[in-house]
C-alpha cells in the first residue's frame, strides 16, 4: 500500500473510533486517536486500547490527561531521537575529517623524509635541487590549504554540534514542562519527589506535599467550553508559580489537579503557603476575552501532608489526597492538612 493510502486509512479509522466513542472531532482529539490507530506510539496504544476495550467514557478531562501524558512525551522522544541522530552524524563527520587529516599529515611527513634523504645525496645538480625544493614548497602549500580547510570544517561542525545540543536541551526542558500551563509535568514532579525523599532520608529536611483541585471545574467546561476550561487551568497554574520559589516544584498532576512539592518547609508553614495560594486564586476573575464579561470566580481546594523519613511516596500522596477530599467535603475553597480534626471525623464517618 502506498504511504498516502496508509495515512488515509489510519485517518478514517481514527475518525470512526472518535465517532464510536462520542469524542468531538477537534484537531487535538484527532491527533490522539490517529496516534492510537497508527500503533506507532506504544504509550497511547496501551492506555487507549484498555479504555476502548472497557468502553470507558472519554471525558474532556480524560482526553486532556491522555494528551498530556502520552502525546507530549512521545513528541519529545521523537525530537530527542532526531537531534541525537543529528549529533552523531556531525560527530562521525568530524572523526572522518580528522582521519583524513591524519593521512594527509602522514603523507606530508613521508614527503619531507624523502626530500631530506634526497637533499643529503651526493651528485645532485642545481636543477634537481631546484625541482626538489619546488616540490617541497608545493607540498607545504597543499598541506597549509588542507589544514586551513580542516580548521574551517571543524569550526562549522563545532557550531552545528553546539546548535544541536542547545536544541536537545530545549526539547528536554519542554518534555518536563506542561505545554498548556507552562509548569512542570507529572514526570518532572515524580522525579523531584524521588530526589526530595532521598535527601529527606539523609538530612531529615522537612518536605511537604500539596494536592490542589479546581472546584466545580466541570461546570466551567460544560458552561463555557473547553477553551475557557484551558484558561482556568492556565490561571491556576500561574497562581501556583507566583507562590512557589527556589527548590519548590509546582506541577500539573493530571486533568484539573495540581501538585506542589515544598522542600525545607514543615507542615504548618506549608499550610500557610497553601492558604496563600488558595487566596490568590480566589482573587482572580475569569474574563471572556471576546466580550470582557466576567464568567465567575475560581476557587481551589488543597490537601497538605508531610513526608516522614523512610515512608513510601504512595503513603504521603494518600494522606494529601485524603486531606483534599476532606476540603471538598467541608465546603471547598479550603485548605486541610493531615493533622486537621476534620480528617479524623471523615474517617470515623466512613467507618
DSSP symbols for 276-319: HHHHHHHT-EEE-TTT--EEEE--EEEEEEE--TT--HHHHHHH
Task: Show which of 175, 205, 223 is a domain's final residue.
Answer: 175
Element (H, E) at 333: none
Count of Cβ atoms closer than 10 Å to residue 24 Cβ = 12
Contact 157, 95 (CB under 8 A): no
> Which phi and psi angles does 323 have, rounded to 5°?
-65, -40
Give pLDDT, residue 349.
45
Same domain? For 297 and 204 the reply is yes
Range of the domain at 48: 3-58
Q: What is the pLDDT of residues 284-297, one digit of tens each?
A: 877 776 677 777 78
In a domain? residue 70: no
Same domain? For 114 and 214 the reply is no
Give pLDDT, residue 58.
86
> Which phi and psi angles does 246 have, rounded to 5°?
55, -125
Same domain? For 326 and 270 the reply is yes
Same domain? For 338 and 206 the reply is yes
Q: What is the pLDDT of residues 71-88, one digit of tens each?
A: 665 555 555 556 566 666
In a domain? residue 65: no
Element (H, E) at 96: helix 72-120
Same domain? For 155 and 228 the reply is no
Residue 334 DSSP SS3: coil
In a domain? residue 33: yes
Task: Show which of 123, 146, 175 is a domain's final residue.
Answer: 175
Contact 303, 211 (CB under 8 A): yes
Cα 338 to Cα 49, 124, 343, 344: the distances in Å are 37, 100, 7, 9
Same domain? For 82 and 223 the reply is no
Residue with cell 466545580: 216
Give pLDDT, residue 348.
47
> Which phi and psi angles does 125 have, rounded to 5°?
-80, 160
Same domain? For 247 and 316 the reply is yes
Number of domains in the chain: 3
Output the DSSP codes for 198-243.
HHHHHH---EEEEEEEETTHHHHHHHH-HHHHHHHHHHHHHHHHHH
Q: Exposed, middle or buried by CB within 10 Å (0-12, 13-18, 19+), for 142?
A: middle
- Known catalytic residues are 256
In a domain? residue 340: yes
In a domain? residue 71: no
Same domain? For 254 and 339 the reply is yes
Smallest CA-to-CA distance from 63 within 23, 34, 100 is with 23
Same domain? For 221 and 346 the reply is yes
Same domain? For 219 and 275 the reply is yes
Smallest CA-to-CA distance from 211 within 331, 297, 319, 283 is with 319
Task: Show which of 118, 149, 175 is a domain's final residue.
Answer: 175
In a domain? residue 159: yes
In a domain? residue 232: yes
Same domain? For 226 and 320 the reply is yes
> Which phi and psi angles does 289 have, rounded to 5°?
-60, -40
Residue 37 DSSP SS3: helix
Count of Cβ atoms closer than 10 Å to residue 233 Cβ = 22
Give pLDDT, residue 277.
96
Give the Cα separation of 190 and 193 in Å (integer).
5
Residue with cell 529536611: 205
Smallest CA-to-CA distance from 326 within 314, 316, 334, 317 is with 334
Same domain? For 135 and 202 the reply is no
Q: Helix 126-175 vs helix 72-120: angle between axes, to the nearest 10 degrees?
A: 170
Length of the chain: 351
Low-confidence ranges of the chain (pLDDT < 50): 1-2, 348-351
Instruction: Record the pTM.
Output: 0.57
In a domain? residue 180: no
Give pLDDT, residue 77.
56
Amino acid at each position: 500500500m502506498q504511504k498516502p493510502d496508509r495515512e488515509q486509512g489510519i485517518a478514517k479509522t481514527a475518525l470512526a473510533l472518535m465517532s464510536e466513542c462520542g469524542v468531538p472531532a477537534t484537531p487535538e482529539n484527532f491527533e490522539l486517536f490517529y496516534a492510537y490507530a497508527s500503533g506507532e506510539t506504544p504509550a497511547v496504544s496501551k492506555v487507549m486500547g484498555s479504555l476502548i476495550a472497557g468502553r470507558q467514557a472519554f471525558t474532556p478531562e480524560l482526553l486532556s490527561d491522555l494528551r498530556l501524558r502520552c502525546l507530549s512525551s512521545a513528541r519529545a522522544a521523537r525530537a530527542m531521537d532526531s537531534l541525537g541522530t543529528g549529533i552523531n552524524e556531525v560527530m562521525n563527520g568530524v572523526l572522518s575529517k580528522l582521519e583524513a587529516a591524519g593521512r594527509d599529515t602522514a603523507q606530508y611527513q613521508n614527503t619531507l623524509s624523502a626530500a631530506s634523504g634526497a637533499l643529503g645525496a651526493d651528485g645532485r645538480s642545481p636543477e634537481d635541487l631546484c625541482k626538489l625544493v619546488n616540490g617541497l614548497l608545493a607540498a607545504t602549500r597543499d598541506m597549509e590549504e588542507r589544514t586551513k580547510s580542516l580548521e574551517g570544517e571543524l569550526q562549522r561542525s563545532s557550531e552545528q554540534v553546539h546548535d544541536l545540543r542547545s536544541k536537545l536541551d530545549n526539547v528536554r526542558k519542554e518534555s518536563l514542562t506542561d505545554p498548556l500551563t507552562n509548569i512542570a509535568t507529572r514526570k518532572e514532579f515524580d522525579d523531584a519527589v524521588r530526589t526530595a525523599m532521598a535527601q529527606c532520608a539523609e538530612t531529615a529536611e522537612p518536605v511537604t506535599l500539596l494536592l490542589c483541585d479546581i472546584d466545580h471545574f466541570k461546570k466551567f467546561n460544560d458552561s463555557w467550553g473547553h477553551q475557557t476550561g484551558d484558561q482556568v487551568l492556565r490561571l491556576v497554574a500561574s497562581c501556583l508559580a507566583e507562590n512557589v520559589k527556589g527548590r519548590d516544584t509546582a506541577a500539573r498532576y493530571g486533568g484539573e489537579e495540581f501538585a506542589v512539592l515544598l522542600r525545607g518547609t514543615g507542615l504548618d508553614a506549608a499550610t500557610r503557603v497553601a492558604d496563600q495560594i488558595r487566596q490568590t486564586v480566589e482573587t482572580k476573575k475569569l474574563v471572556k476575552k471576546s466580550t470582557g464579561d466576567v464568567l465567575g470566580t475560581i476557587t481551589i481546594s488543597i490537601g497538605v501532608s508531610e513526608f516522614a523519613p523512610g515512608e513510601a511516596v504512595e503513603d504521603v500522596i494518600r494522606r494529601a489526597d485524603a486531606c483534599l477530599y476532606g476540603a471538598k467535603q467541608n465546603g471547598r475553597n479550603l485548605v486541610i492538612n493531615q493533622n486537621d480534626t476534620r480528617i479524623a471525623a471523615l474517617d470515623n464517618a466512613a467507618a
